Amino acid sequence: MSTTQRYSTVAIVLHWLIALALAGEIALGFAMPKDASGFALYQLHKSIGITILLLSLVRLGWRLTHRPPAQLEGGWEGKLASLVHVLFYVVMIATPLAGWALVSTDPINVPTVLFGVVPLPHLPLDAGINDFAHEAHEILAFVAIGLFVLHVVGALRHHFLLKDGLLARMSFDKGGMALGLLAAVLLVGAGVFFGLGGSQEEEHDHATDHGPATTEDSVTGEGTPADDGHDHVHEEDAEAADSEEAAEEAAEPEAEETAAAAEPAGPPPSWAIQPGGSLRFSVTNSGAALNGRFASWSGDIAMDPDAPESAAITIRVDLASATLGDATQDSMLSGADFFNTSSFPQATWRSTSVRRVSGNRYEANGTLTLKGVSRPQRITFTLDGSGNSRSVSGSATVDRNAFSVGVGDSAANLGGNVTVNFTFDARS
Ligand code: HEM
Ligand code: HEM
């Protein structure tokens, strides 16, 4: 075969790079847990997705300025192949755009930092299109899978039945081609397989993820999102998460069904936080515990303990009230390396979904806004008491690096996770 019948090297490299990235991206999209524990995988998904967008734009530019080899086959088969190719270009560009639109209009404003390095701005779009972008993103991904099947069946038909050397036009050597094909098919298959398990669970209970985050979880850091950025995805992680979810679902189907069946009666009652509570934080410093507290904080709580799904909770913390009991350390806490209280006087946490874990134990997912960054943050708590009075105590593990709290030399020996504990009485 003469070299003029081959695609150009640039076209071949881009074809296989994008093919593998796209297959991995679809797998990742389905496999990533759709809650706070999937934070790092979301960041990776968005990073790879934007990379695919950029590569595809380069590829489109190349395709429009460089003539591909003449088609090998005419008729309806040739037309179908061309249609699949055109639709592939549409999908390669429209899917990441829809994903970008989806995160830009999400009611929870989660910042995107591509590969942990480049901040991705939000597209200036109306929040009303969020549902549409969500649907479009998912449908386009399914269209990509359909095209992929048609495309591969077509390529294999040429290779094994027509034996017309079509595959060679898009490859450097046969071994690499076979390996690429296998990897792509395995990636998509694995993602759809793990993802379908995950989405069934998600439909069953949106707030569910890795089960209750106990205090032990907090100490070991289990169940908290990993640092974003350079994490590499392992399908095993997703699988492990899925099997935990499955086990949890099997363990408590009745409680969840009862909760789903029970209609909450009217709006949930409001609770006033009584004076005398405490909000403490603890972090390791060179291995030793450093304990502090916030002297000033407040909150609005609307929650029916028997129907926590309708709860709406907001907690506001006056960051300048943070104290470690030492004047020098306290002034450092309010400085730019830590809370930067002159620019960001307040941290807020707002619930997005609350559920009963068991008995008087609850789990609340929400968004923590601290130092200008908003991120998913889970809190677990217990309620004791009855009637119009409750004692509340709970905890959360905050990844301080995600909010840039503690940067520079003075924070060099601090642990990454800050454990926050609170207790207070509430009356309705
Ligand atoms: C998600 C994965 C894939 C995407 C998005 C994709 C996309 C495309 C596109 C858009 C073209 C047209 C080239 C152009 O005119 O720019 C093309 C051609 C081609 N692809 Fe793929 N492809 C994928 C996977 C594969 C796989 C797994 C194989 C091997 C079985 C394959 C084999 C080929 C061949 C042989 C051609 C050349 C067809 C011809 O010469 O007419 N592709 N691909
Ligand atoms: C070619 C590129 C991409 C492909 C093939 C792809 C594919 C997928 C798939 C298959 C899902 C799971 C579908 C679902 O459960 O709703 C998903 C979800 C998601 N994708 Fe992408 N994606 C791409 C690019 C992007 C980009 C660039 C972003 C953002 C910048 C993004 C953001 C998201 C988000 C936020 C979700 C989760 C939606 C949810 O909460 O259900 N994606 N993606």
Domain endpoint, select from 187, 204, 221 = 204
Residues 62 and 141 placed together within one structural domain of the fold: yes
Q: Is the CB of 27 under 6 A from ligand 1?
A: no
Give me the pLDDT at residue 304, please.
Answer: 86
In a domain, 259, yes or no: no
Residues 200 and 280 placed together within one structural domain of the fold: no
Residues 197 and 274 placed together within one structural domain of the fold: no
Q: Is the CB of 45 under 6 A from ligand 2?
A: yes
Radius of gyration of the chain (CA): 26
Q: How far is the CA of 262 from the centre of ligand 1 (A)?
A: 52
Give me the pLDDT at residue 179, please.
Answer: 66
Give me the pLDDT at residue 234, please.
Answer: 35
State the DSSP string of 330-371: HHHHHSTTTT-TTT--EEEEEEEEEEEEETTEEEEEEEEEET
- Do the Cβ atoms of 5 and 69 come closer than 8 Å? yes
In a domain, 230, yes or no: no
Nearest 10 degrees: Cα torsion 235, 237, 243, 248:
-150
In a domain, 420, yes or no: yes
Give me the pLDDT at residue 80, please.
Answer: 94
Tokens 């106990």 sit on residue: 214
In a domain, 350, yes or no: yes
Vertex 419 angle, CA 418 and 421, to 5°: 140
Where the chain has pLDDT below 50, the residues are: 1-4, 198-265
Number of domains in the chain: 2
Domain at 118, CATH number: 1.20.950
- Beta bridge partners, 394, equal 381, 422
Residues 274 and 199 placed together within one structural domain of the fold: no
Domain endpoint, select from 151, 184, 204 = 204
Residues 415 and 317 placed together within one structural domain of the fold: yes
Residues 193 and 277 placed together within one structural domain of the fold: no
Give me the pLDDT at residue 192, please.
Answer: 64
Residues 199 and 305 placed together within one structural domain of the fold: no
Give me the pLDDT at residue 168, please.
Answer: 84
In a domain, 394, yes or no: yes
Residues 58 and 138 placed together within one structural domain of the fold: yes
Domain at 343, CATH number: 2.40.128.110
Residues 197 and 327 placed together within one structural domain of the fold: no
Tell me the C-alpha distance between 22 and 331, whole Å: 49
Q: Domain containing 92: what range?
A: 3-204
Query: What number of residues does the chain have?
Result: 428
Q: Are strands 118-120 and 297-302 parallel, antiparallel or unpaired?
A: unpaired
pTM of structure: 0.56
Tell me the C-alpha distance between 127 and 125, whole Å: 6
In a domain, 241, yes or no: no
Give me the pLDDT at residue 212, please.
Answer: 31
Q: Is the CB of 22 under 6 A from ligand 1?
A: yes
Residues 73 and 198 placed together within one structural domain of the fold: yes
Tell me the C-alpha distance between 412 and 406, whole Å: 8
Pocket test for ligand 1, best of 16, 79, 151 (most atoms within 8 A of CB): 151
In a domain, 161, yes or no: yes
Residues 287 and 175 placed together within one structural domain of the fold: no
First to last CA, the chain: 82
Give me the pLDDT at residue 250, please.
Answer: 38
Tell me the C-alpha distance between 47 and 249, whole Å: 31
Among the listed residues 170, 129, 122, the one whose alpha carbon sits nearest the alpha carbon of residue 8: 170
pLDDT digits (tens, 9 = 90+) for 286-331: 878 888 999 888 898 989 898 888 888 989 998 989 988 877 777 7
Ligand nearest to the CA of 8: 1
Ligand nearest to the CA of 187: 1
Residues 183 and 277 placed together within one structural domain of the fold: no
Tell me the C-alpha distance between 37 and 228, whole Å: 11
Nearest CA to ligand 1 atom 4: 19
Tell me the C-alpha distance between 309 and 357, whole Å: 12
In a domain, 62, yes or no: yes
Q: Where are the alpha helices (DSSP H) in 205-275?
A: 215-220, 235-251, 253-261
Vertex 28 angle, CA 243 and 61, to 5°: 175
Q: Is the CB of 138 under 6 A from ligand 2?
A: yes
Domain endpoint, select from 177, 204, 231 = 204
Tokens 């504990």 sit on residue: 421
